[in-house]
Structure 1
Amino acid sequence: MYLKALEIQGFKSFPDKTVLTFDQDITAIVGPNGSGKSNISDAIRWVMGEQSTKALRGGKMEDVIFGGTQRRKQLGFAEVSLVLDNSGRLFDMEESEVMVTRRYYRSGESEYFINRHAVRLRDVNELFMDTGLGREGYSIIGQGKIDEILSVKSADRREVFEEAAGISRYRHRKEEAERKLERTQENLVRINDKIDELELQVEPLRAQSEKARKYLVLRDELRGLEISVWLDQLDRLRSSARKLLSDYDNAVRQKGEAQQALESLYAAAEGYAAQMREKDMEAEGIRFQMQQRQADANECERAVAVLKARIQSNLENADRVRRELEAQEGRAGSISGQIAERQARLTEIAGRMEALQAERAAAEEAGRQVSQSAGTLQAELEALRQKEAVETASAAEARALLSALAAAAQELLDRDEAVRQELAEGEQKLSVTREEAARAGKELAKAREDRDSLLNIISGYTMRLDSREKKARAAEEAHVKLQMEENAVASRIHMLAEMEKLYEGYSKAVKLVMGEAERGNLKHIHGPVAGLIHVPDRYAVAVEIALGGAMQHVVVDSEADGKAAIQYLKRRDGGRCTFLPLNTIRPSDFRERGAAQEPGFVGLGDELVEFDPRYAKIFSNLLGRTVIAEDMDAAIAMARKYGHRFKIVTLDGQVLNPGGSMTGGSVSRSAGILSRANELERLQTQSEAIRAQRAEAQRAVEEARRERTAAAYELETAQAQRRELEDSILKLEERGAHFAQMLESQETQRGELRGELEQIEARSRRTEEDTRNARARIQALEGSAAALHTEAEGKAAGQDDLKARMEQVNENAARLNLELAALEAEQAASRQALSELESLRADITGDRAERETMLAQFQEKNGTLTAQIGEKESVLQTIREENREKEEAIQRLNQEKLALEGERNRADRESRDKNAELLSMEREVSVLEQKKVAAELEEKQILDKLWETYQLSHEAARTQRQTLESIPKAQRRIGELKRAISGLGNINLDAIEEFQRVNERYTYLTGQRDDVQKSKTELERVIADITGEMKAIFAQQFSIINQAFGETFLELFGGGKATLELEDETDILNCGIEIRVQPPGKALKVLSLLSGGEKAFVAIALYFAILKVRPTPFCVMDEIEAALDDANVTRFARYLRQMADRTQFIVITHRRGTMEEADVLYGVTMQEQGISRLLTINLNDVEAELKIK
């Protein structure tokens, strides 16, 4: 194995990608001081995992990245790759070539790669461990390594010898095992503490658990007996309730028959009323016909009046026509005189028009001559004005250029101001940078003060963590208690919800109907009355008693829906059920409104409950005539005052029935069908409150845990801060260097801005010169344009004279045209008037004959109108006779209506009698219903006890029923069991589970303690084995290295002797190592008594001895022979050649003797300041070419 190549990019003074290739011989890297040749050894050290910036000759890791020069910007990352030959499989990898790469970004991120696969730093360290390579090995030997060997502290030399002995991997494993052992010991202490705590709980919980188990045995026996006794009572109660139910059903049936008879009477009365309405409608129809005929008669009378008026109008028109004939005789003579006057005027107008037309022709000829002269003058004027426009446009362009130059001058002025402002800001930034540098110095002093106060802070954080631990435990206990309470309420809610879902407490028929409706087989089923109503707790008992059996009535949409449900019950033999169709149920009318003012009046039953408005008629029917009273006294007083006409129920469930009967006694306080929903709602509210409390408790637990975590974090942070403060001081120093760079950058920027100011001033001068030239051109162009304008004005004046002459000619022509037009208009008007006069004269002649014809027509029309009046009077007589007949028909219908009204009154009397009979039946049904309700309540009490005591429904309880010898004997045993349970005292049922949990925890921790103890023993054994193996290997290798050291020393020094000695041979793994040497011709000395050159040569001899015993694949030596004289350099170089067959050497040197022994020379130069470049010379090729050696 050997080093094949080194690739560097962005590392220190190598910004560009640089590749160094190596052969299996000696390579020397040479160059002047400061050229960057030692950066190559730093690059190799860095890529092999070096983390110390001091070892890399820097202040911070960012310093390894190329920092830029005056000509080149800084880079954002540094990357170095090491290519190693692995054909000998030194590394446990299949590849024959291994590339190790390290990349570091200026942001602080670091990456490692092996064969271009991302790995950890640990993986890189393990790759080189025990190979002599790596940051702790001896493959890179510089002045630092020489100093380590020559250190006064002999213990500092151990790392080199351990790596050479090959026990670094063992030491790493031993340290890891010791860390595991320390953690195991801590776990063992923690487990023992928990076991001690649990031992205090186990025995008390054991006693409580046994007591709880005994209680459970007694409780189970008591449970079986009580369930069986209660079921026996329930069976006897149901047996007696069946006869009561049969009587109740018969009474309801009879009540239904009476109700049907009453409804028949109501229907008969309604039939008579319908016939009466029909008679009224028929009479009303006849009256409507009479009104229509009377309207026809009125129309005839109006028509006769109109005809008579038209006759009178015709007579008046005839008289007017006669008068007009007499007037026309005088007008005919006047029209003939006017015609003669018009003809004379037309002759005069024709003569005048001929004279005007001759005058107009002369004026038009003069106008043509003036127009021709004006055209010639206009052409000359347009040419002058065109030249003037060209000059004016050129002047405008010059002015635009002048504006552009002004804008450019302003822009330069603005930039000058901006640059000067930037200069001022730069000065301000420079001042700020200096202030920040001073502040960094203050922060450095503050960091040192903080370091001294951290110990007190850590003590306070420790006390705070203990307090937060106690608070967290208390919050967790409170949360567990609320959780148990919430579970109990949730169990009760689940039980009540199941009862609601299963319609517990409803009859079998109701359950069957609702089940079928929920499956979608019965339509339009709204549900039982009790499920459609919400009753406040205060009125629950009163409303439940008032409703009685009606709570189990089922509301449906129509009779058809009720019929379908009844047929279903008949098919299933499911019992009986009452259905309330929404479309037929009538609301009750409570007329005794004065009762609301009576003492103790609470309200009407349907007004004290809440329900969907759709069911208003249902609950009005059921509760609309039921008054809720405060107590029995108020109810009795109210019933007496209103004659026992309505039902009254007190708040505690006592009933005063219509008619005077009373029902009362004790009422079960357990949850009924109505109050069950209220209890469920109340429990849900309680559950939400508990849930809110538990959420608050959970938040308290989380807060306590956060505080505990925060306290632990604060403690950990404080402990970490002590270690970080030194790093903070280093960062503050780095900030100072950063500020220095900023100052330099700001000075450079200031110089650039000053140079830009000079450029701006030069451009401003050029702009001023261009502006002067533009103004001169504008002045010349404007003068030329003014001269052309003056000449054009002269031409325009001559044109104005021609225009005046032309206007005079045009005005004369216009006057003549206007006068001609006026004469033409007068001529046309005279001709029109003459035509009209002649036409009027002809009309007067023809109009006379027409008017005589009109007189004859008026006489003819009056004869026709007289005949029409006779026809209308005949129709009017017919209508009057028809209306007399219709009045007789109305009188007959009124008599028939009176007969029907008598029949309806008879039916009303019979319905009142039947209604009284029905009320009697309703009272009987009510009494039976109260007995039925009382039986149901007693049954409910037993079922409630089953549920409240044991959370069992009737069906579930029957599965746990036992066969009893006798009820009295069972009841006596129940008493004995209750006394025995009472004698046990307080029972903690949770103790069973708690004991099991704690005992399991105790058993688990005990086993865990044993496992941890075994792990501890095993780790101690492993550490002992590793230690023993390390001692054996180190002792063996140390002896070999010691012998090799003596031989190497003898060869290099040409005599003398050298030995290595352990300071404490009983502790060879930890003791220091002493180097004793005796140069030729001198006494035996310790290392510290030698000269500087001798010390360096001894260190070189020791490293050569180590390489002889455990050769590394390659070795980098960075000017380690610098302190030697020329003779010793020659010896060093020859020995280097002697060992080159086992180890590849890369030597950084400036000594001639070392260079001469090298096979390849890499020259490092710095042609550009701050940037290193390579020059390669293969000396073997040179020797072959020059045929020298």
Structure 2
Amino acid sequence: MRLKSLDIKGFKSFADRTHILFNEGITGIIGPNGCGKSNIVDSIRWVIGEQKISHLRSENLESLVFNGSKNRTASGLAEVSLTFENTRNLLPTEFSTVTVTRKFYKSGESEYRLNDVSCRLKDIQNLFMDTGISTDSYAIIELGMVDDIIRDKENSRRRMLEQAAGISIYKTRKKEARQKLDATEQDLARIEDLLFEINNQLKTLENQAKKAEKYFEIKKEYREVSIELAKASLEGFNASYKNLQAQTESETDKKFQLEAMIAGEEAALEKDKLAFVEKERQLQALQHAFNELVQQLRNKEGEKNLVSQRMNFLQEKESNLQDFLLNGAGQVQGLEESVLFTDTQVGEEEIKLGQLLQNLKTLREKTEAARSSFGNVKELLDQLRSEHAQAQRRQFDSEKNIAVADTSIQNLERALKQQEEESTARAQQIKQLGFDNELTSDQMETRRTDLRQLQEHQERTREQILQTQEKLEGLRQELAEENRKYDAKKNEHDLLKSLIDSMEGYPESVKFLHNNPNWNHTAPVLSDIIYVKEEFRTAVENVLEPYLNYYVVNDLEEGLKAVHLLDANKKGKANFFLLNKFPAELPVTHEQPADTVSALSVIEVDAKYLPLARHLLQHVFIAEKEPSLEWFNSESNGSVILEKHGKYVKGKYSLTGGSVGLFEGKKIGRVKNLEKIFRDVLEREQVVNGLKSEIQARHNEVIGYNEQLKEQALRQVQEDINRLNNQLFAIQNKTESLNGLQESAVRRIQELHSQLRQTQESIAGTRNNALRLMEEVNELKEKITRGQEQFAVAETAYNTALAGFNEVNLQMIQQQNRIAALKQEREFRNKQLADLRIQIENNRLQLEQTQLQITESSGSLQLLETALTDLMRNKEAEEKKLNEADQAYYLERNNLSEKETALRQLIRQKENAEHLLGEIKDRLNDLKLQLAGMKERLHVEFRINLDDIIDEARTGEQPAEELQDKADRMKKRLENLGEVNPTAVEAFQEMKRRYDFIVEQKNDLVNAKDTLLQTIQEVETTANQQFLETFGKVRENFQKVFKALFTEEDTADLVLENPDNLAETGIDIVAKPKGKRPSSIQQLSGGEKTLTATALLFAIYLIKPAPFCILDEVDAPLDDANVGKFTNMIRQFSDNSQFIIVTHNKMTMSSVDVIYGVTMQEAGVSKLVPVDFRSLSTQAS
């Protein structure tokens, strides 16, 4: 199978239809960040059925549709089509080309299409099942998924191996089978509950049928009495109804009169309210005009205040200006005098400066001559000092070299001694590590032996636990079955006991005597003292049926006492057998006919009641099979012959028979049957308790075996092995490290000996040179002493001449500064005088303007005072009008309030009339309700229409009260009987058919459950076997690919975390690049993690290559060297699979066959630019 093409339209940033053709080999997708490269990967994920919108880097399905850009409108449809060539028939279809299409409309509709035929998502998933193509398969790998593989997020490693093993279909089958098994077990539980309920219902339906007949007899008499009561009750309704009707007419007339008065008053009131509203509007207009007048008055007062404040300011300003002009004339005169005095001082000081300059010229010439002589002497001395310093530096360097050489010799000797000591110590350490290695290896072997023994013990113990748990499960199933049987018997016992306690099916007289403490309530009825075998019970009950309700008493006195009680309480009649009247033995007058069974032989009865049983059944025989007419004539001999199943009873002169009722045979022997059922219940209870004890014992065995499981010891041994393994690893590493250090130390000792000889040879010449330099330095030191004496004489002469020059020069500079200060002061006074004259002129102009403004403000103030006087007069007049209008307004409002009060009184009178009408109407309704209730009760209880009997005459003159009492008594009797089921027989037959049908369904479900359990076991076994085989192959391939991506010295492995549970075990990755011993692959670098995940991916590809593989920026963490390995590996696998690589790496780009460049020439819209490198390389060659 080969990926042929991808078509995108309206999906995310691909607004236009985009066609991508995938050739064999490697296809690259490149482009800048944000151009839409990964949207191509998202589109492939989406079209093959991705349902998690977060995996598509979106918030909802609507965001998958192109949302528009600056120049384009939004699209209404996202559509992606993926086309495959089914060359190797990997897809289960007869088509050679398969196109999968997914569409989503912004309206919320979506659809899947397969070769342009509408289909379901499940059809797409089934199509790609076990092909290596799915939304979470190893066919699509993103950079983030590399970290998921490393961290084993959501069991991603196992999921990839399951896809490679092709067990997805098995997991699906197992999941479906498990779901069906759960549903089957739930159905079985429901059916068990249903059967239990139906069984109880079957037992109760018998009693319901017998009670129904008595119920219908009482119901018929109750119907006749209720009809007569209804006719009597109707006679009293008419008078009450006419009286209430007359009151209704009177109150209605009064109500209409009040409504007319209210309407007139409301109309007049509404007219007055309109006039009142007009007056209110006029009042508001007057109030508004008055408010405006007040506001004008306030504005004028504000203007007056502002003008007054301005007048005060201008007057103050005028005063200040006049004061300044008076003072300014005196200041001008003082400044002019100061300027003249400063000019005189400047002339005098300039004369003194000329004299100082002449003296300074003479002193400068003397100083220059002394400086020249001093410079020559200093230059000679500096030269001598320079030569001396150079000689000293050479001497110092020589001495330093000697000291360095001496130090170097000492250091070399010390280092040589230290290296020899360390070498000796390392040799001892290496010897000790050898001993430690041997000891740790022995300990490791011992702990491995302990581990094997513990594992064998664990296996044996787990096997014992499994065997015990299987026995425990069998016991639990047996206990559940016994519990069901026990519950059934217990329910049967409780039901039968309740029937016996309530004397269900017996006359009221028998029940009365049974519950009366004044009589011997322990006396049994005949049906309770005889127990008959199940198969003959119906036949014997038929022959004894007339006597089953008879009480069995000891003597006549006991029977008469019961008769008197019944008579005194009006409880009807009862029958009695007198035990003391029956003879102990009866003569045998009839021989037992052939092919019959004596009725006495199939019953069980206490010894004290045996004479009574003989009296009733001595001449009764049961035929095993239906005899012929001739047999009856020849064999019966006057005996009573019963058909075994109760079909007939043949007496000497009579024959009774016909169909056998459903409830026949259920009455006789209830007490004896209860005793037998009670014994069965006790036996069942003992069985249940025994099973519970055995289950507890088995459970204790499991607990004991679990305690024998030495999990802690096993973990401890495993930890010891890991610790010893780490110790061995550390010893080996340390030994290797020490050996390396020892070799380095030998080389270092040789180097130190060589350096020591070279240093000692070079230091001899340096010592001779140092002595010569010492003599040279002493000679130069004497010359410097003589030069310093000449230098001191020249320096003294120069300093004396320089001091005289500096003193006169300082006087000259001070004189120049004094003249400059006088000139600066003169300039300042001139500038100050000019500024003062300008300021005087400006203030004179301001004074004239201020006086003019004062005159204008005074005129404005007079005008404002006149306007304020006029406004005050207008305000008083308007305020008077407003007060008059306000008084008229409130007077009118009081009149309206009085009218409204009168109207409310009329309304209350009308409401009282309406309330009285309502009460009368309620009483009428009560009468109607009573009549309707009577009509409804007759219709509900007896299906009688009151209209049909309302004109019929009464059948008697009995008062309604007596009829009501009689009806209540009958109703009470019906209530005491409780609910009856009129269709009990039909319901029983229907229930029996349903019971048989459900039992058949239960058997089918049990068979289905067994089949499903077998299927789950087979599927799990097959899946585990395939998974284990695939894991072994992938593990071997992973080790090879890992070394190919790293080096031959690097090691890696795949380990099952729980080998005992292949269905759920996780997979651990062990990776140890050369020189590293990480405790977890999380400690590897980003590039190493990527290469490790890539090794696992390609190891799976060697087993089951996916038709195509998409790698989205997986190479991002890799450096150039590892990118080369990565691309070489992809090139090897590209022969069997197509590779689509989204990348930014230039080396990866250079290794692909075809590149699709993704750009956004138009903002927000992705475009493709294809380049086929194969055609370019062909042209180049």
TM-score past 0.5 threshold: no
TM-score with structure 1 setting the length: 0.34
TM-score with structure 2 setting the length: 0.34
